[in-house]
Homo-oligomer: A and B are copies of this chain.
């Protein structure tokens, strides 16, 4: 999770909401990503999607069986099903998202009986550290706006 937090700092540097992610396979990092929606003007530029795409390219397969995704924030309704689509084994996330969290907090879009694949979910890892980074970012945004 520390490495995902490092990724989140890269988003911060670009003025994007600080969320970072990594994909680990067999003890090594095969994909990294950070939120780049503003920087790249990409509505799909969330940390999870970027890390998943990088891992697929790296492993040369779309089924990321055997892989774990670490992300600093609970995935949104777009990214949660993407984790299932990519057939990841496990999702580990930091802060819970009370507004749009889709790994159980607001929506349940990972563990659904309609899906052909099961992902193990662990939430709240280094939660405070991940949440604080987001709080600081939004607090600075509000100050800049005022």
In the complex, chain A residues 56-96 whose Cβ is within 8 Å of any chain B Cβ: 56-57, 60-64, 76-78, 80-82, 84-87
Q: Which of A2-10, A35-43, A123-131, A132-140 contacts B (4 or more CB under 8 A)?
A: A35-43
A122 within 8 A of B: no
Question: How many A residues touch B, CB cutoff 8 Å?
Answer: 37
Cβ–Cβ < 8 Å partners of A109 in chain B: 77, 107, 109
In the complex, chain A residues 23-55 whose Cβ is within 8 Å of any chain B Cβ: 37-38, 40-45, 49, 52-53
A144 within 8 A of B: no
Shortest Cβ distance from A65 into chain B, in angstroms? 11
Q: Would you mind naming 26 contact pairs between A and B with Cβ atoms under 8 Å apart? A: A41-B56, A41-B57, A41-B60, A41-B61, A41-B62, A42-B56, A42-B62, A43-B56, A43-B62, A43-B63, A43-B64, A43-B86, A44-B53, A44-B56, A44-B82, A44-B85, A44-B86, A76-B85, A77-B81, A77-B109, A78-B78, A78-B81, A78-B82, A78-B85, A106-B114, A107-B114
Cβ–Cβ < 8 Å partners of A85 in chain B: 43-44, 76, 78
Given A43-B62, A43-B86, A44-B85, decide whether A100 and B77 contact each other with a Cβ distance below 8 A. Answer: no
A143 within 8 A of B: no
